[in-house]
Amino acid sequence: MMSACSEKQPQNIFLQEWNTPYGTAPFSQITLDQYMPAFLAGIEEEKAHIQAIVDNPDAPTFENTVLAMENASPILDKVQGVFFNLAESDSTPEMQAIEEEVTPLLTDASNEIYMNEALFARVKAVYEASAGLTREQQMMVKKIYQSFERNGVALDEAGKKRFAEISNRLASLSQKFGQNLLAENNAFKEATGITVSEYYDFMGSCEDRAKREQVFKAYSSRGNHGDANDTNAIVLEILKLRAEMAELLGYPNFAAYQLSDKMAGTPETVDNFLQPIMDATMRSARAQLKEMEALAGHKIEAWDWCYYAEKLRAQKYALDESQTKPYFQADSVLKGVFTAAERIYGIQIEEAPEVEVYHPEVRAYKLTEKDGSLIGIFYRDYYVRPVKRGGAWMNNFREQREGVRPVIVNVCNFPAPGQDPTDAQPSLLTVDNVTTAFHEFGHALHGFLSQCHYETVSGTNVARDFVEMFSQFNENFAFVPEILSAYANDYRTGEPIPAELVEKIRKSLTFNQGFMAGETCAASILDMKWHELSSAELAAFKGPDDIRAFEEKVCREMGLIDQIIPRYRTTYFNHIIASSYSAGYYSYLWSEVLAVDAWEKFKEDGIFNKATADSFRKTFLEKGGSEEPMTLFKQFRGAEPNPAALMRARGLE
């Protein structure tokens, strides 16, 4: 379209109103050179708004301080929403260069806010007088108040100085750990010929026992070779600094600090949660071990487990993915994902060709209520591309708040359909891929059905050990017969998937869980035990031998059998050493209990019971982080979550 105002200079799209369908991003008008100026303008705007809050002569209120903080950065919200999504799904060297340039600027801007004592004084005043606020406002004030405290704003000068030193040192140590681990992973590939991500598949299929032993030993000793890439010293320094930091902030150890703003609340709660799961997995693993030894005719070692588990699986269930794949064409699976949401929550989903997308393979959809009112806009970006980060995720382009409906994307790395129009091979998904599609849309529904006033606590802005509940919950619909019949048809003939094949899928999903849940649970316990040590206790740890001895003691005490090791050992446990899952690896199992326990309610009441679905939607999905998770759970279920539901779901009874 020709523009009437051609005499004007072209403006930065992020500094303008978007006159697009539903205010979605006008991707075709975004150019790389617009990002940095928009970020810089956004940071300036935010600074000015924060200063105005601090300078406000009126007494601090929720509106003039806490809400004003949420509204301080409209330009940044806009540019970040687009940039950080595309930086993951379209990670070109140009985008990476911008990311490298802007990340430290954004970190500094954020630190400046959360170290601002005058601002904190106003937030604190609102926090301490929050009795008259709504529940949602109280949750939001608490969250912001805690962010300040957890950043050390309340410390004295010496404390602040030490806190900053520790933060900086931890940042460079995590980076160093990441680099060493990357080098170790590359060395592993060189020594064995397989990549780290191929490890489990390889161990399940390699017939050469000596080779399996070699691969197992190389895999489980990463970071522990006493050479330049050894991570023992880095790990110890990180653990010691974390303990010191937690103690500086008044916590007995780092686990207590990490848990204080999570659903679980305390390390004791997590420990008491994990041990019974550990016991159940080991009972199941021991029983399976006997079966596998009978099959193998010899003692099973750690490097034999996956191999004989696959042999046993084939013998028991004979599930071959080449049988199931024709029923799981990517677009049909998406239809199933939508059908489940439409049937359960009574919403409507249709393609929205009027909405611009950022890549020709991406599709846009519109979600509406029965009365036609807009719920939000959804992009599905399913297929693998060389410039896309690995894995699968949900993210917001725009988050829900009062008067604003969300824009959400699901990004996956499913096989791309063939490009040849005369012989177009469709994208056929594995059972695991199908589960992923339902999982990510579960996160999307959490974002879409949110009915909060404030973005800070809306949608998926909840504690880490709560957020996976909704994605894991949604996975359950994938293999429900009534949903399968809406999507799982052979792409060549249209034939529906046979019932006995569905039964095989369901059975194989609970196979080998003693091992799978066992190694996850063992890693979760190891993570907790490391982070429950005080700095005085950690002072006794001098080197690699002390780390080994501690790890062995923890594994013995939790009851782990010799044939299974934690999913990650200390020297290559990236989640807890360099990533943000320290004292948090348990979150996966914790969320799963919430998900399967909620699912049991659906099964008790009938999966398509409208009252149950309405209650789930109103109690959880509409509430986001505007209430304590446990309060919401008890409202829905009438009781606290029961870990026995996880044992049942995983076949561990």
Q: Which residues bind Zn ion (CB under 5 A)?
A: 471
Between 305 and 616, CB nearer to Zn ion: 616
Between 305 and 379, CB nearer to Zn ion: 379
Least distance (Å) between residue 410 CB and Zn ion? 11
Between 203 and 412, CB nearer to Zn ion: 412
Least distance (Å) between residue 240 CB and Zn ion? 32
Between 223 and 629, CB nearer to Zn ion: 629
Write out the two tokens for 227.
């050479």
Q: Output DSSP code: residue 408.
A: E
Concerning whether 165 is annotated as a catalytic residue, the answer is no
Q: Phi-psi region for residue 403, left (φ > 0), alpha (ψ -120 to 50) or beta?
A: left
Least distance (Å) between residue 468 CB and Zn ion? 5
Between 514 and 584, CB nearer to Zn ion: 584
Strands 407-414 and 348-351: unpaired
Can you tell me the distance from the alpha carbon of 283 to that of 299, in angstroms, rounded to the nearest whole number? 18
Q: What contacts 376, CB < 8 A, 6 or more positions away? A: 367, 400, 405, 406, 407, 408, 447, 448
The single-letter code of the amino acid at 192 is T
Least distance (Å) between residue 35 CB and Zn ion? 28
Write out the two tokens for 82.
């687009």
Using CA atoms, how far residue 557 sits from 524, 529, 568, in Å, is 14, 11, 17
Query: Any idea which residue has 């690699």 for tokens?
Result: 544
Between 232 and 474, CB nearer to Zn ion: 474
Between 192 and 471, CB nearer to Zn ion: 471
Write out the two tokens for 392.
């699968």
Between 239 and 437, CB nearer to Zn ion: 437
- CB–CB of 646/592 below 8 Å? yes
Separation of first and last alpha carbons in the chain: 65
- For the beta sheet containing 348-351, the strands, ordered from the edge strand earlier in sequence to the opposite edge, are 348-351, 363-368, 374-383, 407-414, 393-398
Least distance (Å) between residue 439 CB and Zn ion? 6
Least distance (Å) between residue 469 CB and Zn ion? 10
> 411 burial class (0-12, 13-18, 19+ CB within 10 angstroms)?
buried
Q: What contacts 324, CB < 8 A, 6 or more positions away? A: 430, 431, 497, 501, 505
Least distance (Å) between residue 442 CB and Zn ion? 8
Q: Is 496 helix (H, G, I), strand (E, B) or coil?
A: strand
Query: Any idea which residue has 């928009």 for tokens?
Result: 38
Least distance (Å) between residue 558 CB and Zn ion? 26
> 193 burial class (0-12, 13-18, 19+ CB within 10 angstroms)?
exposed
Comparing every residue's Cβ against Zn ion, the nearest one is: 471
Least distance (Å) between residue 467 CB and Zn ion? 7
Can you tell me the distance from the alpha carbon of 341 to that of 353, in angstroms, rounded to the nearest whole number? 21
Q: Mind giving me the DSSP string for 208-246?
A: -HHHHHHHHHHHHTTT-SSSTT--HHHHHHHHHHHHHHH
Between 458 and 474, CB nearer to Zn ion: 474
Strands (E), 45-98: none
Least distance (Å) between residue 404 CB and Zn ion? 24
Can you tell me the distance from the alpha carbon of 570 to that of 184, in angstroms, rounded to the nearest whole number? 14
Q: What length does the chain have? A: 653
Between 529 and 650, CB nearer to Zn ion: 650
Can you tell me the distance from the alpha carbon of 649 to that of 653, in angstroms, rounded to the nearest whole number? 9
Q: Which residue is catalytic, options 440, 455, 475, 519?
A: 440
Least distance (Å) between residue 472 CB and Zn ion? 7
Q: Positive or negative, the Cα torsion across 480, 411, 473, 77? A: negative
Between 231 and 471, CB nearer to Zn ion: 471
Q: Positive or negative, the Cα torsion across 641, 644, 647, 649? A: negative
Reported for 374-377, long-range contacts at CB under 8 A and 24+ positions apart, including other chains, are 374/22, 374/405, 375/347, 375/405, 375/448, 375/449, 376/400, 376/405, 376/406, 376/407, 376/408, 376/447, 376/448, 377/22, 377/24, 377/352, 377/405, 377/406, 377/407, 377/408
Annotated catalytic sites, by residue? 440
